[in-house]
Each structure stands twice: as C-alpha cells, then as structure tokens.
Amino acid sequence: MNFKTICVSALLAFSIFSSAADEQYAASDTSVLGAHEHGKALLMLVVDGNEMQLALQSAAQTIVGFEQKASTAEQIAEIAAAIEVFNRGEWFQFNADANCEVTAAETNTDLLDAKFNRGHADFYANYQLLCQQPARLKQLDLQLFSLLPSLQQLQVQWVINGRQGAADANLNNSTIRF
C-alpha cells in the first residue's frame, strides 16, 4: 500500500464513518464520537507528499443557528454568507515555514440540498493546499472559535505523510501541534 492509497483510505474511512453516523443519528437520535453534535465539529487533515486536504464538518446549527430548510430571505443570505466565509479559508493558519497555500476551496451544506428532510443538517468545507515544506508542518492555528461563538470543541484528526494523530481544540486552546 503506498501513501496515496493510505490517504485515500483514510479519507474514505472518514467519510463512510460520517455518513454511517448520520444515518444512525437520523434513526436513533444518538450521535457517535461527535458526529453531528451541536457545538462540536470535526476537522480531518491529510497530507500526501506536498498536497494537503482539509475537511471540516459541522452541524449547521453551530454555523448559521438553524437546521431547517431555509425559508426566509434572511436565512438564505446567512447560508450564502457562511459559504463565502468558509470558501475564503482564512480561519486556519499553518506555521509559516511549511509554506502552505490554499489552492481550492469548496463549501456545501445539506441546507441547500433539494432532497434534504432529515431534521439535522451539516456544513462541509473542503480545502486543497499545496505545502512547499511539508516536513516542517508543526502547528495549526484555528480562528474558528471567534468566527463561530457556539462552537465549543473541534476534533482534529490528521495523517501527515503516514504520521497519524488527533487532538481537540477549543476557544482557550486553539493551536494544534502535530
């Protein structure tokens, strides 16, 4: 198994886990390891060579304050504003000498899914970055907590060129060290 396979597997495992947890949540109203818990969010980081993928998943409640299908112009505007903020990708910073740059960003939410009717909705912000010095990746600073006052905990999981780790961040401890 090469690095690419490992990383793709890690991402797949993560997304399969997330959708399984969603289904379980819908069925039993319980959540697994923070998947769709209001006030908590998940951040998955995978570095393969000098390419990084960053995937944030959060309950819509934590981001825009509601999870029912947007019905007012104000709610639609709030969703659009949140998507714009996340697409800007300015809520995270890696230590500068790793020299990482966002090359693509895409934010989605169940709230914009025409078939959405689950009663719970998530936001998904996905980023691709290019890091010139991935071996120097040491630290991730998160400004997510000032952006989202109702976010209490961010679970961060990473696979950096085969090296795995996990840590929780919160308002008072918003720097992750790999």
Binding site for Zn ion (CB under 5 A): 59, 61, 67, 120
Question: Shortest Cβ distance from residue 39 to Zn ion (Å)?
Answer: 10
Q: Tokens for 95?
A: 């230590």
Specify whether the CB–CB gap between 111 and 67 falls below 8 A. Answer: yes
Residue number with the shortest CB distance to Zn ion?
120
Report the residue number, 61 or 109, with the smaller CB distance to Zn ion: 61
Q: 119, 92, 122: which is closest to 108 by C-alpha?
A: 122
Question: Shortest Cβ distance from residue 62 to Zn ion (Å)?
Answer: 9
Question: Shortest Cβ distance from residue 59 to Zn ion (Å)?
Answer: 5
Report the residue number, 53 or 155, with the smaller CB distance to Zn ion: 155
Question: Shortest Cβ distance from residue 120 to Zn ion (Å)?
Answer: 4
Q: What is the 3-state secondary structure (H, E, C) of 24-77?
A: HHHHHCCCCCCCCCCCEEEEEEEEECCEEEEEEEEEHHHHHCCCCCCCCHHHHH
